[in-house]
Structure 1
Amino acid sequence: MVDEKEPYAGEFTPAARLEPEALAARNKRNIWLGLALFGFVVLVGVTTVIRLSSTDLSEGASFYYSPNKKARAPLQEAPALPPGMTEEQAAPPAGLEPEEAPE
């Protein structure tokens, strides 16, 4: 029969009690871990700001780093069709025409 005042008596173990030295060591580790995570977040933020500040987004460029505008690969013309393929076969289906390239 189950005691109505304590229906789960004996089923759970009591929580461990840490010594003050163990608590101090855990707090010290948590502080260092927090500082390391904060430093990583600052590093990622600074890197992102530096990369975005040197990117010219006015010409349809992406967010990737390109120190020299002339070093970007120009848009290439469509490759030649394979032998035996017609322009109609190579054309995209209706409704899937590519958008105009930005100038």
Structure 2
Amino acid sequence: MSGRTVPISTAVLGDEQTHPMYGGGVNYTALWNLELFVDVTPNTAQTWRASFEQFGPANYNASGPRILELDGYACAGPVPEPATLLLLSLDLTGIPGIRRKMKR
């Protein structure tokens, strides 16, 4: 994933419209476009979350400090059936035998 363009949408300047963010450098200088360049170690995450924030008052040239966060999440593997269930099933199969002994 190193240096690839990642499609992300964001609202810019509070105009209540969703605009695309583009990656790769100073190629998109229009007011309604922001840029995103991803340079990360390859990862096999199943889910990605990217967030982008721009601080300060929304002025015409969209200047201000910017924070970008890109997180990868992997789904946990299947959880094995606990041994407790096995013990419980053995206990339940033993109850009828105990009842039979008590009835004698």
- TM-score with structure 1 setting the length: 0.25
Instruction: Give the number of the structure whose residues are more often strand, by fraction.
Output: 2
Instruction: Give the number of the structure whose residues are more often helix, by fraction.
Output: 1
Greater CA radius of gyration, 1 or 2? 1
- TM-score with structure 2 setting the length: 0.25
Query: Which structure is higher in RCO with an 8 Å CA cutoff and minimum separation 6?
Result: 2
